[in-house]
């Protein structure tokens, strides 16, 4: 009985080792190279690129230094944008917002991030106030739903220090009465809660 188990075990090992032997030999086992460098060693990343088969021509070394060709461009560097944001606010009517002043590349603009779960469409008016009485205002339609959105003024050339700008976003019901649901500003509250 032991001889029978040994014979079965040996047969199984031989059958299981045949695909492995073929993978190690690769397509070059009969002296025919498909040029893909397949086989177990290359599949595992163990092939030596300096090794060549007798039927394959040697590969020339890659040039080094400036003669190697044009350099691949890296990722495009994005211009820096600084922001000053007020607190995240929410109203009992289902509106959440945070309003910011953004500065980048010599330009200043306002942006208000919002979420409207009030169950109805709203109007938002975003106003940016700058030095010397400069004001930019935009009206945004705020759809109903839980998806976040943003309202943003056009970018204007900066006319002073970033601290001389402020923004206010007002969210209201779009009807004749225009009930104000939330006002959000870019200025952070004073330290100490006062």
pTM of full prediction above 0.75: no
- pLDDT value for 153: 96
The segment with the largest mean pLDDT, out of 21-25, 36-40, 134-138, is 134-138
What are 113-169's pLDDT values in tens digits? 999 999 999 999 999 999 988 999 999 999 988 889 999 999 999 988 888 999 999
CA dihedral 154, 157, 160, 165 (to 10 degrees): 0
What are the start-end ranges of the E strands in the chain? 82-85, 89-90, 95-104, 107-116, 122-129, 135-142, 145-152, 156-157, 166-172, 180-185
Of the candidates 134, 117, 116, 136, which has an alpha carbon nearest to the alpha carbon of residue 126?
Answer: 136
Long-range CB pairs of 151-154 (<8 Å, 24+ gap) are 151/111, 151/112, 151/114, 151/124, 151/126, 152/109, 152/110, 152/111, 152/112, 152/126, 153/109, 153/110, 153/111, 153/126, 153/128, 154/109
* Local confidence band at 189 (pLDDT 50, 70, 90 cut-offs): low
Residue 41 has pLDDT above 60, yes or no: no
Cα→Cα distances 179→20, 21, 50, 92, 123, Å: 76, 80, 77, 13, 10
């Amino acid at each position: 009985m032991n001889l029978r188990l040994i014979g079965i075990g040996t047969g199984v090992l031989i059958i299981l080792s045949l695909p492995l032997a073929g993978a190690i030999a690769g397509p070059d086992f009969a002296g025919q190279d498909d040029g893909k460098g397949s086989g177990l060693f290359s599949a595992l990343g163990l092939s030596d690129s300096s090794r060549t088969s007798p039927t394959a021509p040697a590969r020339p070394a890659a040039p080094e230094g400036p003669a190697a060709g044009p350099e691949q461009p890296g990722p495009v560097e994005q211009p820096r944008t600084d922001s000053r944001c007020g607190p995240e606010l929410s109203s009992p009517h289902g509106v959440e917002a945070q309003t910011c002043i953004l500065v980048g590349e010599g330009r200043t603009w306002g942006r208000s991030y919002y979420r409207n779960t009030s169950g109805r469409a709203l109007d938002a008016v975003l106003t940016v106030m700058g030095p010397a009485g400069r004001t930019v205002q935009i009206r945004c339609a705020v759809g109903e739903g839980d998806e976040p959105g943003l309202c943003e003024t056009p970018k204007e050339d900066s006319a002073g220090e970033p601290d001389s700008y402020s923004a206010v976003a007002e969210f209201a019901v779009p009807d004749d009465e225009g009930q104000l649901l939330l006002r959000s500003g870019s200025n952070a509250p004073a330290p100490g809660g006062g």
